[in-house]
Structure 1
């Protein structure tokens, strides 16, 4: 199962390449925010992350509600966090 999971942007790693570091439940990964170009995405913003891409900018309340609902999913949420933890975008691959 692949879910979109809320993450908070902690750093714009390479704004020109649309790369940001996000924190998802304590796991930090570099993701692409290219799909949100023109939406003024910045550190502190919440985004919905799916397969290494920020799919949507969301507000903090929506992020909290989504995280709470996902935690109730149990193993599916744990599996999604494990998948997120095992992937990353390498800056060298650009």
Structure 2
């Protein structure tokens, strides 16, 4: 299963301006911002799919979505494990 997951932007321009460090349920990784019109500020929430930030979303929507995803149990855990094991450079 491949999910779009909300992540909080921790740092923008991690060595390259089109990349950002995000955190999803304790997992930190780099994502590509190339699909966004403008780079988000640290503290903003983005919807992430296959290593790309698809859109900026508000914190309430992000937290509600994370709560629903956590209820999926193993499928969500598998997605987090896949995210932790992948990199964008």
**TM-score of the aligned structures, taking structure 2 as reference length:** 0.92
C-alpha RMSD of matched pairs (Å):
1.2
Once the two structures are superposed, what CA deviation does each residue of 1:57-79 show, in whole Å capped at 9, x if it has no partner? Answer: 10000001000000111111001
**Match for residue 33 of structure 1?**
33
Larger Rg: 1
Give runs of aligned pairs for residues 8-23 of structure 1, distance below 5 A: 8-12=8-12, 13-14=14-15, 16=17, 18-23=18-23
- Are 2:72 and 1:73 equivalent residues in the alignment? yes
Find runs of 4+ consecutive structure 1 residues off by over 2 angstroms. Answer: none
1:46/1:57 contact within 8 Å kept = yes
- Bigger fraction of residues in helix: 1
